[in-house]
């Protein structure tokens, strides 16, 4: 018997291409790193500290009042996390959420239509442009939605709800296909 559990990505092997001639693609994104930053710090200052600490490829997403998620595909390096914590000392707190949250990519020309079936957020590009994020509900699950491109979004959900969100998204896509959306 093993002493320590082995890490397995929660959505390992999941892929979904469908809904009106590839109008939607669901993708389990790499379980790299996700940091929750809290404090009275400007995003530009946070971005500079991220670069200094080795998180240059990470993105900053607003997660609430004076709260941000820092997400990236690369695994978390403890020395980088330590450098970020030291750089933000007295300005903000950093909590590693890498093992507690999962990111799902939703893309394709029908991605906005799919997401509008599960949330009340207006995802029109004129209201919700690229780089915008919002904490909302998709069905009964609390999710952060980020627009990452014209027809692409990233959803971040608590790890224990990732499979449920995936199932909800595939069911919404199947229902939309049936409805001829």
Show pLDDT as tens, one digit a residue, over the chain (181 residues). 556 666 667 777 665 554 444 588 898 898 899 999 999 999 999 999 999 999 999 999 999 999 999 999 999 999 999 999 999 999 999 999 999 999 999 999 889 999 999 999 999 999 999 999 999 999 999 999 999 999 999 999 999 999 999 999 988 888 776 666 5
Cβ pair 26, 166 in contact under 8 A: yes
Measured between alpha carbons, how far is residue 119 from residues 33, 36, 135, 153 in Å? 26, 23, 11, 13
Stretch (H or E) spanning 79: helix 78-87
Q: Where in the chain is the domain with CATH 3.30.1360.120?
A: 15-30+100-179
pTM above 0.85, yes or no: yes
Residue limits of CATH 3.30.70.3400 in the chain: 33-96
| pLDDT reported for residue 25 | 87
CATH of domain 15-30+100-179: 3.30.1360.120
Which of these, 81, 66, 84, 94, lies nearest to 32 by C-alpha position?
A: 81
Which 3 state secondary structure label does DSSP give 37? strand
CATH architecture for the domain at 33-96: 2-Layer Sandwich (3.30)
């Amino acid at each position: 018997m093993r002493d320590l559990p082995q890490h397995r990505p929660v959505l390992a092997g999941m892929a979904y291409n469908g809904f009106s001639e590839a109008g939607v693609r669901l993708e389990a994104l790499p379980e790299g790193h996700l940091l929750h930053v809290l404090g009275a710090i400007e995003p530009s200052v946070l971005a500079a500290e991220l670069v200094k600490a080795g998180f240059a490829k990470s993105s900053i997403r607003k997660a609430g009042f004076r709260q941000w998620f820092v997400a990236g595909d690369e695994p978390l390096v403890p020395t980088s996390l330590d450098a970020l914590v030291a750089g933000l000392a007295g300005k903000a707190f950093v909590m590693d959420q890498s093992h507690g949250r999962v990111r799902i990519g939703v893309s394709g020309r029908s991605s906005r239509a799919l997401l509008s079936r599960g949330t009340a957020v207006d995802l029109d590009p004129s209201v919700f442009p690229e780089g915008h994020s919002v904490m909302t509900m998709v069905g009964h699950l609390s999710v952060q939605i980020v627009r990452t491109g014209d027809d692409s979004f990233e959803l971040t959900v608590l790890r224990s709800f990732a499979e449920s969100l995936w199932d909800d998204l595939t069911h919404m896509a199947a229902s939309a296909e049936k409805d001829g959306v």
